[in-house]
Structure 1
Amino acid sequence: MKKLFGVIGNPIAHSLSPHMHNDLFSLYGIDAHYHPFLVEEGRLQEAVSGLKAIGAAGFNVTIPYKTDIMPLLDWIDPLAKEIGAVNTVVNRDGQLAGYNTDGPGFLKSLEEGFPPLENPAILVIGAGGAARAIYFTLEKTRPAVIDICNRSLPKADSLTGESKLGVPSRALTMEEAAERINEYDMVIQTTSVGMHPETGVSPIGLNNLNKRVHAADIIYNPSETEFLKQARLRGARTMNGLGMFVHQGALAFELWTGIKPDADRMRKTVLKQLGGAIC
């Protein structure tokens, strides 16, 4: 019987995960289908119960449910528990197990996209599920500083307060971070601000930036968000979210199937769906 996989979130229409995973199922001869599921606000529990009831073999979790889904799962991987967010769920004999592949996927993309930085000072923009994954993953690399800026300062303060390795961290408002932007070697944008179709906006002002920083955005459509555009115009080295998207997806696919997929093919599949270039 054909296995069902999918992704739940809101919004979800922009996701290219179905193209990426369905191509892999075809490549490896797996009788399965991956489908996007729009889950309306307040209906997450119903959605998870429904997927479990129909025997979905696994699914991804995206904005805004990566943290909210945790109480609805039967088991959570220690890394995901530490991060406090889940983006991949595996159905094992009716028991839902939660994992987080965002952090390791982002770290892999950094290794491919930027030259190594020794003891960098890092600013993370946002404090949601993806930010948590990146924060706790990068913390293990022992940077000099990881600061968090967010529209909700208490949420940023809560995240920095969870640091377990003693890496210096401050919670900042967006305005404070914009003023101190030249203190950082790397700036990582983790919010949905600037994602297609609502392009042309940035979560933070970069008018004060006059240092050659490494600027990363986890958004992959458009390929150059307004944040990355403004950073590039000010001399920054930039990287979009395509690498993170591919590598987190590859890790999820491996958890579901036991197969380590061809990440290069995954990248080409995504680019093909966008006409050869992310727009």
Structure 2
Amino acid sequence: MRKFGLIGKKLSHSFSKKYFTEKFKREGILDAQYELYELPHMAGLPELLQQEPELVGLNVTVPYKEQVIPLLDEMDEAAAQIGAVNTIKISGGKTKGFNTDFIAFKSSLQEFYPIHKQSKALVLGTGGAAKAVWAALDALAIPFLKVSRTAGAGQVSYSQLSDQVLQTHQLIINTTPIGMYPQVQEAPELPFSGITQQHYVYDLVYNPEETLLMQKCAANGAKVINGLPMLYQQADAAWSIWNFKY
């Protein structure tokens, strides 16, 4: 039996096991199972691999997409450039890191958002998921402003956001876990009065399906989408990595 799974700190929000279990049943894949592996610390990965010798593939979620890198034997070139890993292939006792978030976000964004010459984005968060989003926006030639809890080199704080900033940045992407189950009554601290019908809001959170951020923005007429399209596309890309030569 081949084992696959997801590693992260807290996984009660995850749909990954349901998605892959249904995929295995639908496609008649009888030699595979997918499990959730909560790790209190990233240092627990080597022990997990020892305890589960049948593991051949892992997904990686918050907050370990960057922390996992020093523990890997090898890195795919694209993942190394992005600086974050969300997929691990395990073969011959060796681990290799990949990033399918980049592919999945770029593709799903193009389906959701009509890119034009004046496009500018706000990217909320600066973690591992944000790095894949930055790379995708660069590839699509969309200028972006990084938003974090504190201002710094090349980024602003939430308190520095204004209606004027929102007026010129009509694509908003939330890469943070704010609003994710079970903290569903939380939302990033945006000046929501500046959200209009011209805004497109992409929340990478997918549980709940409609986050408080999405609700507040939709109430002002913005187009909103959650992270499910990205989840499905990155999961399919991960499956290809695990099952074919990379």
Fold-level similarity (TM above 0.5): yes
The 5 Å alignment of 1:128-207 reads 128-143=127-142, 145-154=143-152, 157=153, 170-179=154-163, 180-205=165-190, 206-207=192-193
**Distance (whole Å) between structure 1 residues aligned to residue 122 and residue 111 of structure 2:** 20
Measured after TM superposition, the shift of residue 30 of structure 1 is 4.2
| Aligned residues of 2:150 and 2:156 also touching (Cα < 8 A) | no
Find the residue that maps to 2:11 and give its secondary structure: coil
Match for residue 64 of structure 2? 65
Find the residue that maps to 2:63 and give its secondary structure: coil
From 254, 257, 262, the equivalent of 2:240 is 254
Relative distance call for 1:61 and 1:52 in structure 2 (3 A) is farther
Measured after TM superposition, the shift of residue 243 of structure 1 is 0.5
- Equivalent AA in structure 1 for residue 231 of structure 2: F
Measured after TM superposition, the shift of residue 32 of structure 1 is 1.1
Measured after TM superposition, the shift of residue 187 of structure 1 is 0.6
Deviations 1:148-177 (A, max 9, x none): 0011334xx3xxxxxxxxxxxx41111112
Measured after TM superposition, the shift of residue 258 of structure 1 is 3.3
The alignment status of 1:7 with 2:6, answered yes or no, reads yes
- Equivalent AA in structure 1 for residue 173 of structure 2: I
Identify unmatched segments of 5+ residues in structure 1.
Answer: 158-169, 260-279
The alignment status of 1:214 with 2:212, answered yes or no, reads no
**Range with bigger deviation, 99-108 or 64-73:** 99-108
Match for residue 117 of structure 1? 116
- Percent identity reads 30
**Distance (whole Å) between structure 2 residues aligned to residue 66 and residue 116 of structure 1:** 28
Match for residue 44 of structure 1? 42
Find the residue that maps to 1:207 and give its secondary structure: helix
Relative distance call for 1:67 and 1:237 in structure 2 (3 A) is same
Relative distance call for 1:178 and 1:229 in structure 2 (3 A) is farther
| Aligned residues of 1:194 and 1:202 also touching (Cα < 8 A) | yes
Find the residue that maps to 1:244 and give its secondary structure: helix
**Distance (whole Å) between structure 2 residues aligned to residue 123 and residue 46 of structure 1:** 34
Instruction: Give the alignment's TM-score, normalised by structure 2.
Output: 0.92
Deviations 1:23-82 (A, max 9, x none): 222314240111001111xx3222234225632101011010000000000011111111
From 202, 207, 220, the equivalent of 1:234 is 220
Match for residue 99 of structure 1? 98
Relative distance call for 1:18 and 1:140 in structure 2 (3 A) is same
| Aligned residues of 1:119 and 1:142 also touching (Cα < 8 A) | no
Measured after TM superposition, the shift of residue 112 of structure 1 is 2.5
Instruction: Give the alignment's TM-score, normalised by structure 1.
Output: 0.81
- Equivalent AA in structure 2 for residue 33 of structure 1: Q
Match for residue 263 of structure 1? none
**Distance (whole Å) between structure 2 residues aligned to residue 239 and residue 6 of structure 1:** 26
Find the residue that maps to 1:131 and give its secondary structure: helix
**Distance (whole Å) between structure 2 residues aligned to residue 120 and residue 131 of structure 1:** 18
Measured after TM superposition, the shift of residue 209 of structure 1 is 2.6
Match for residue 21 of structure 2? 22
| Aligned residues of 1:126 and 1:191 also touching (Cα < 8 A) | yes
Measured after TM superposition, the shift of residue 22 of structure 1 is 1.9
The total of aligned residue pairs comes to 241
Find the residue that maps to 1:153 and give its secondary structure: coil
